[in-house]
């Protein structure tokens, strides 16, 4: 028996580890796909257009806003980010849950539009660890780093709005806990609209088997 597909909304303050956790989950779980977002920020070293983000000019982003191509979008740390409706649709059409690595503003928009979403907030074990991971990532200018740290406080205050909070202490353990949440959510009765039919199917097969043996 299987449940319906649902969006997985994962948020964290910058440097919290959501991209790292998302990447590992995608490697391990065939039932999860990733919605590649659009952004106006510049690519970091090693980031690939179309894989990590669709990197757009402000004008290209504006056009997609006015063409209503985004399921949600928001300004975060001085740049704009948005989830393409087409990206979400593509993953769902592959029969996979769609993972959205989005900020707290986007999360509110997505949960309003898709109440069946599973929302997970990733927290760092401490502010010191957060700062050291952000510095270690070595991918942001001093200005961008300061802004990301300043915004971390407001973002952390939003954690209570999420259904699950996972501390990203040990990476392997954090990935396993997020994966366990997805397993549990997939087995919730309210996500199984065809449960009645499936149960009847199982009972029919059971009785057929018994009759053949008897
Ligand atoms: P986010 O996507 O939330 O901004 P990242 O996934 O880019 O954060 O993680 C920030 C940095 O911290 C990266 O360099 C990543 O490799 C590192 N990192 C993430 N999780 C852990 C962890 N559990 N232990 C040690 N380093 C981690
Ligand atoms: P980064 O620049 O570190 O990749 O991302 C900055 C922030 O933007 C993160 O909180 C990330 O989750 C968020 N973000 C990435 N894509 C989207 C999106 O499509 N929509 C929204 N609302 N936020 C996003």
Locate the ligand 2 atom nearest the alpha carbon of residue 53 and give its number: 16
Q: Is the pLDDT of residue 203 over 90?
A: no
Task: Please state the domain extents for the chain.
Answer: 7-34+96-213
Q: List, for residues 29-47, the tens digit of each pLDDT value.
A: 999 999 999 999 999 989 9
CATH superfamily of 7-34+96-213: P-loop containing nucleotide triphosphate hydrolases (3.40.50.300)
Supply angle C-alpha 183, 199, 177, rounded to 5.
5
Under the banding of pLDDT at 50, 70 and 90, the label for residue 164 is: very high
User: What is the structure's pLDDT at 2?
Assistant: 44
pTM exceeds 0.75: yes
d(CA 71, CA 82): 8
The DSSP code for 43 is P
- Residue 38 Cα to ligand 2 middle (Å): 9
Under the banding of pLDDT at 50, 70 and 90, the label for residue 1 is: very low
**Mean pLDDT, rounded, of the chain:** 93
| More confidently predicted of 96 and 191 | 96
Query: What mean pLDDT is predicted for residues 58-67?
Result: 98
User: Residue 17: CB within 6 Å of ligand 1?
Assistant: yes
């Amino acid at each position: 028996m299987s449940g319906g597909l649902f969006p997985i909304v994962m948020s964290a303050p910058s440097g919290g580890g959501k991209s790292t956790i998302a990447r590992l989950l995608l490697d391990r779980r065939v039932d999860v796909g990733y919605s590649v977002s659009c952004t106006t920020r510049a690519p970091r070293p090693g980031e690939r257009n179309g894989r990590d983000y669709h990197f757009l000019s402000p004008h290209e982003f504006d056009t997609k806003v006015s063409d209503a191509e985004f399921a949600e979008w928001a300004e975060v740390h001085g740049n704009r980010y948005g989830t393409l409706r087409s990206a979400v649709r593509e993953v769902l059409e592959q029969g996979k849950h769609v993972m959205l690595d989005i900020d707290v503003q986007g999360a509110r928009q997505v949960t309003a539009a898709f109440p069946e979403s599973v929302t997970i907030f990733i927290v760092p074990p401490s502010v010191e660890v957060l700062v050291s991971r952000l510095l270690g990532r070595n991918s942001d200018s001093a200005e961008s780093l300061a802004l990301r740290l300043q915004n971390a406080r407001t973002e952390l205050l939003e954690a209570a709005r999420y259904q699950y909070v996972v501390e990203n202490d040990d990476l392997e353990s954090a990935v396993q806990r997020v994966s366990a949440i997805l397993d549990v959510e997939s087995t919730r009765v309210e996500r199984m609209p065809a449960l009645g039919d499936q149960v009847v199917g199982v009972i029919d097969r059971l009785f057929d088997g018994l009759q053949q043996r008897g």
